[in-house]
């Protein structure tokens, strides 16, 4: 029978994959994609806790809604910054953008 | 839903989510990585359906797939070398990051299955009642986070316009070591 730990395991797997992508990818947009994976994992965990711990509470729904808002704002702003960086440096590879490196 | 059918649905959704997620972080072609994100997000929406959070199934498809993913695809296509198979797409951290994430995942799995979780036999409300309750909660008890989210969206909206507009004139050569324009 599928219970709470199975959902949480899928959530942590998704988070681990996203963290791996965020750490290893060179392209800034690919890093943003990985961050979206991690945000999805967090939302999945919230709803799993809601379903199996207290299905009448509204906290998880509010958290997920705020999380979605943050994800949307992050994507819009992150991509605006990435496009600006691209026009400034001609690349979005994070290891080639070393302007601020001391 | 019978227990057996639920297990089959859970396992197929796990495959539908995890395999594309691995492709997203490993494929060299970044446009393909963006497209691999699609089945992954649909899988997460399927998990929401399995958890009977009906409202968020729709929200996931509308916002994640309909808005965020399309935005990311546009940004991918506006930059160059995303489909070049010769372009190196990873830094040298693969082994370290893989070991770290794998170790974290193993530790989490170990802790998860040792903890005595409650059975979770509570039955969630119907889709209609859930959505009504969420709407009520957002204008009564949780009105402050709701307004904070509105302000966040407004700030992101203005900031995106400001960032996109504050480019220096295009006639100056890019990449020169002159001053960078302020915000």
DSSP state of B149: H
Terminal-to-terminal C-alpha distance of chain A: 55
Judge: B30–A29 Cβ closer than 8 Å, yes or no: yes
Please check whether residue B83 is in contact with residue B30, taking contact to mean a CB–CB distance below 8 angstroms: yes
**Alpha-carbon gap, residue B170 to B153, rounded angstroms:** 29
Per-residue pLDDT of chain B (183 residues; tens, 9 = 90+): 567 888 999 999 999 999 999 999 988 888 889 999 999 999 999 999 999 888 999 999 999 999 899 988 888 888 876 667 677 777 778 888 899 999 999 999 999 888 888 776 677 778 888 889 899 999 999 999 999 999 999 999 999 888 877 666 555 555 544 445 444
CA distance B11 to A91: 40
Q: How far apart are CA B151 and CA B163, in angstroms?
A: 18
CA distances from A88 to A54, A85, B162 (A): 50, 5, 16
Q: Model confidence over A18-75: pLDDT tens digits?
A: 999 999 988 888 999 999 999 999 999 999 999 888 878 888 999 999 999 999 999 9
Residue of A nearest to B73 (CA): A29
Residues in B closer than 8 angstroms to A71, CB to CB, are 63-64, 68
Are residues A77 and B159 in contact, defined by beta-carbon separation less than 8 angstroms? yes
Q: Which of A25, A53, A84 sits opposite B120 (nearest CB)?
A: A53
Q: Hunting for tokens 């060299």 — which residue is that? A: B28
Of A4, A33, A88, the CB nearest to B34: A33
* Residue B174 confidence (pLDDT): 52
Query: Residue B175 and residue A37: Cβ atoms within 8 Å?
Result: no
Establish if B112 touches chain A: CB-CB under 8 angstroms.
Answer: yes
Considering the entire predicted model, what is its pTM?
0.86
Q: Which backbone phi and psi does B159 adopt, to 5 degrees?
A: -65, -40
Query: What chain A residue is nearest to B113 in terms of C-alpha separation?
Result: A5
Distance from the Cα of A1 to chain B's closest Cα (Å) equals: 6
Cα distance between residue B92 and residue B104, in whole Å: 20
What gap in Å lies between CA B65 and CA B38, rounded to an integer?
A: 7
Cα separation of A67 and B148, whole Å? 12
């Amino acid at each position: 029978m599928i219970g709470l730990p199975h959902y949480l395991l899928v959530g942590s797997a998704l988070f681990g994959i996203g963290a791996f992508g965020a750490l290893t990818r060179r392209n800034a947009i690919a890093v943003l994609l990985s961050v979206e994976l991690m945000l999805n994992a967090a939302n999945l965990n919230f709803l799993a806790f809601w379903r199996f711990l207290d299905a009448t509470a509204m906290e998880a729904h509010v958290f997920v809604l705020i999380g979605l808002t943050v994800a949307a704002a992050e994507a819009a702003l992150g991509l605006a910054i990435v496009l600006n960086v691209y026009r400034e440096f001609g690349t979005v590879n994070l290891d080639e953008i070393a302007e601020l490196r001391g | 839903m019978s227990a057996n059918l639920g297990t089959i649905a859970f396992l197929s959704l796990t495959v539908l989510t995890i395999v594309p997620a691995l492709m997203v972080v490993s494929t060299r072609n970044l446009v393909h990585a963006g497209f691999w994100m699609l089945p992954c997000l649909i899988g997460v929406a399927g998990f929401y359906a399995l958890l009977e959070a009906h409202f968020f199934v729709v929200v996931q498809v509308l916002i994640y797939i309909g808005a965020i993913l399309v935005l990311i695809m546009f940004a991918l296509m506006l930059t160059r070398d995303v489909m070049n198979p010769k372009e190196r797409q990873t830094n040298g951290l693969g082994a370290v990051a893989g070991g770290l994430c794998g170790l974290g995942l193993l530790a989490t799995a170990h802790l998860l299955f040792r903890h005595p979780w409650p059975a979770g036999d509570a039955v969630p409300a119907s889709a209609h009642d859930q959505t009504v309750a969420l709407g009520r909660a957002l204008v009564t008890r949780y009105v402050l986070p709701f307004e904070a989210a509105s302000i966040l969206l407004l700030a992101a909206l203005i900031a995106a316009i400001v960032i996109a507009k504050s480019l220096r004139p295009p006639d100056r050569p890019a990449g020169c070591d002159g001053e960078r324009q302020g915000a």
